[in-house]
Structure 1
Amino acid sequence: MDIQAVGAALIRPGQILTERGATSAAEQWTQAVAEAEGVFRIMLTPGVDPCEIALRLREEGFRASPNHVLTGQPLWFGGPASRPFPSPPVDRPSGKGPQVTVGVLDTGVAAHPWWAESDWYGRLGPEAADRPTDGNNGNGNGGLARQAGHGTFVAGLIQRRAPASVLRVGRVLGADGIGDEAGLLRALHRLREDPPQVLNLSLGCHTFDDEPSSLVASALGALPDTVTVACAGNTASDRPFWPAALPGVVGVGALGVTEESATPYSGFGPWVDAWARGEWLASAFLEWGEFAGYARWSGTSFAAALVSGAFAAEPSAREAADLRGSREIPDLGVLVPAGL
């Protein structure tokens, strides 16, 4: 699917997302309308600017947004992301704790010895699989696509931090680490029937106007008892990164290995609520080429996964999304220890 750069944001060209009532208001610019799982996507007539139409609909009181492109956030080296590195085997997570349900919306989760016999993995269908490629998009790393294994790595970190956690997996990013706002909204709609107690979103984007998507805010607001954790992005800037910058979402920045200072690539600013190690972490991965099911990787994606695991491991903190008992890092904020 095509991607268009608008300012410093990426969108799907010729598309806007909106609520049902706005479809009539946008009729004069509409070529086709598709609806799936509560998401209305309008395909605009050629030459129409989706950002301009979204703003017009907002002025009329409707929720509307261009279909922003979302990406996973492993460490960037000039784009789009660094590769993971093979790791020796890591001990299987063990320990007792609450069986907290954690939603993981990502590239999916692959088979792995850590959860091969778990009930939650046995319930996953093929649509939730973490795939090595999505067709011909390998990056030369043994044929793996750039972010293949991202969701598996995130799931492994959550399980390392909270071994008794029960994962609910949705695939909203391709193996290249790319998805869009429409896909995220559909996945959030599906979660309404049985909301997880914690939701991990190791993905995000900038918006064309630096304002939050009211559609995503509304979808997350429909999960009032869920603690949502999202990565601050590997942008090395204080520009708001969504959904991490949304009120009510725990935005997480990445610390270095010593957990004393921010990494050079992490997003930062008053909208970042917590900080956790994001550098050179070890976790579950695909079995592919030189990878024997384990890898090391870096990025705010993985700092967010550790914070999600911390909430899953501590029921009292989860109930209030309370991080105040953690140590403060000067000029940054709350530290959530990796606990690995």
Structure 2
Amino acid sequence: MFDQQARLERLLARHRDAVVVEPLPGRPALIRRDEILVAGQDAGAAEGLVQRWCDSRQDEHGVTVLRLRAPAKVDVCELAAVLGSGGRHRRLSVSPNHLVLGQPMWWSGPADRPRPAAPMPAPGPVRARRDVTVAILDTGLSPHPWYADADWFREQRDEVGEVLDADLDFELDAQAGHGTFIAGVVLSQAPSAALRARRVIGGDGVGDELDVIRALESLARRGRADVVNISLGCHTYDDRPSPVLSRAVAALGRRTVIVACAGNAATDRPFWPAAMKPVVGVAALDGPDRAWFSNYGWWVDACAQGVGLASTFVRFDGSRPVEDGTDPDRFDGFATWSGTSFAAPVVAGRIAALAAEEDIDPCAAADRVLDPGRHRSLPDLGTEVHAESAENALG
């Protein structure tokens, strides 16, 4: 389970257009081969500069994808750096299309898998003085008794359903259920919240920057999220924030709070989008201390328990045999799991709950939840955020 190279090889075999790049020695990143992303207003200028290598152009809301001809063998990282160079400030907003990966399963991090758990009661009703919507950019949502009858779920269930076994090997994909698990963590903290799911990574935990930008642009156009939870991310080729993704984050404005996981590589290397200034980056605790796998650093804003959390999950019975009277891969709607992926929705849920219960805007709620004058602050981990109910949030 902890063979990093083997997991990387499986990822590359499943995603044939992915490639590992390492312009900075010892700091690899994953990108889509022969693709660059350009912020919408810069698309024409960028296309003109790369037209000799350009194979196709795809325009979307706020972002353009330029696909380059493979025989040209263009180094897209070098190309993005040249197109973006302009002294101290970028000239054009251009980036390779980085792969984003859900946490906990990341190819240079720990390989933690979900484990079946006993049923848990749904959180009870709470008094809410305003409606609050939490968007979850992840693997989607599977039906669950906690929310199957909720209006917000009925409106979107067909378009966001999780894919549990994409490769048809009779085993649950490595991160299938990730989004459903996160939904339960949010609801355990903010029972009155309406959830809005966007499927941006597959059940193997892999997606790309373009899918995240699409989801953020959709939320910005429709104005339908008070809090956004992003339990995924990436390292970039130059360890700087992608300017294209940064524009999509900025488009949401201060009316929306974005919370993202800090990553599971046990490093202080910035993990994006968590390390962006407008984003609340969340590390994981194991008791009073940093979880061994959690990223950390100056760019982390908050921390919460991230080991052995219990939450909602999918229903699935895999092919593994019963061992000592226990079926290790039969899930009946609940699981325990560990990772910064699950510390992040604790923070997102606390912000949503405070906004709903006290009728304040999400940014004001975030300021209170993260106020170091009210709560313990840890070096390189930010402000500690406690789950409202240990019984509901921890296994």
CA contact 1:58–1:64 (8 Å) conserved in 2: yes
Hey, what's the Cα distance between the residues in 1 that align with 2:284 and 2:148? 30
Q: 1:38 aligned to 2:38?
A: no
Q: 1:235 aligned to 2:235?
A: no
Percent identity of paired positions between Structure 1 and Structure 2: 45
Quote the offset at 1:35 in angstroms.
Answer: 2.0
Give per-residue Cα distances to partners, 1:161-208, cap 9 Å, x unaligned.
000000111000001000000111111111122240000000000000
CA contact 1:75–1:265 (8 Å) conserved in 2: no
Quote the offset at 1:146 in angstroms.
Answer: 0.3
Q: Please, what is the CA RMSD of the aligned residues?
A: 1.7
Name the amino acid aligned to 1:130: E
2:118 aligned partner:
88
The within-5 A match list for 1:150-165 is 150-165=178-193
Hey, what's the Cα distance between the residues in 1 that align with 2:334 and 2:110? 22
Which of these residues, 356, 359, 362, is aligned with residue 318 of structure 1? Answer: 362
1:262 aligned partner:
290
Hey, what's the Cα distance between the residues in 2 that align with 1:4 and 1:208? 12
1:111 aligned partner:
143
Hey, what's the Cα distance between the residues in 1 that align with 2:180 and 2:338? 14
Quote the offset at 1:79 in angstroms.
Answer: 5.6
1:291 aligned partner:
331
Give per-residue Cα distances to partners, 1:278-313, cap 9 Å, x unaligned.
110000000111100000000000000110000100
Name the amino acid aligned to 2:387: A
The within-5 A match list for 1:189-228 is 189-192=217-220, 193-224=222-253, 225-228=255-258
Q: 1:274 aligned to 2:302?
A: yes
Deviates more, 1:22-31 or 1:102-111: 22-31
Number of residue pairs matched? 334
CA contact 1:237–1:267 (8 Å) conserved in 2: yes
Name the amino acid aligned to 2:248: A
The within-5 A match list for 1:135-174 is 135-136=167-168, 138=169, 143-174=171-202
Quote the offset at 1:24 in angstroms.
Answer: 1.9
Which of these residues, 29, 35, 43, is aligned with residue 9 of structure 1? Answer: 29
2:75 aligned partner:
49
1:336 aligned partner:
385
Question: Structure 1's 159 and 42: CA in aligned 2 closer, same or farther, altered over 3 A?
Answer: same
Give per-residue Cα distances to partners, 1:214-244, cap 9 Å, x unaligned.
1111111111110000000001010000000
Deviates more, 1:110-119 or 1:32-41: 32-41
Quote the offset at 1:130 in angstroms.
Answer: 1.3
Hey, what's the Cα distance between the residues in 1 that align with 2:196 and 2:99? 23
Quote the offset at 1:135 in angstroms.
Answer: 3.2
- Between structure 1 and structure 2, the one with the greater Rg is 2
Hey, what's the Cα distance between the residues in 2 that align with 1:64 and 1:78? 26
Q: 1:309 aligned to 2:349?
A: yes
TM-score when normalising by structure 1:
0.94
CA contact 1:102–1:166 (8 Å) conserved in 2: yes
Give per-residue Cα distances to partners, 1:29-58, cap 9 Å, x unaligned.
211112233321111122111101111211
Structure 1 portions without partners, runs of 5+: none
